[in-house]
Amino acid sequence: MKTVHLEEAKIGLAEAIELARHEPLLVVAPGGQEFLLAEADDFEEEVEALRKSVSFQRFLDERSRSPRRIRLEDIEAETDDELARQREKSAS
């Protein structure tokens, strides 16, 4: 898996897609958000390729050690709150 930090390398969508044709591409935005771009030709093949990818496994290991965590309960509560706001808005 290749990683591109957009603060360091400005690439366009066409170039990102071309890179992702060869291997999954992790794009790190200036704010630290991470996006994964990969060809979606065959899900099972992609899963198997990622299982065999040393760099992807390293990425997962690094992510699992990250102190930045959001509890599932917090995500569910935030989602419920947003849905309730949307229902209230549409009922008005």
Q: How confident is the model at residue 44 (pLDDT cuts 50, 70, 90)?
A: confident
pTM of the model: 0.47
Does residue 41 carry a pLDDT above 90? no
Residue type at position 89: K
Q: How confident is the model at residue 18 (pLDDT cuts 50, 70, 90)?
A: very high
Task: State the Cα angle at 72 between 69 and 76, rounded to 5°.
Answer: 130
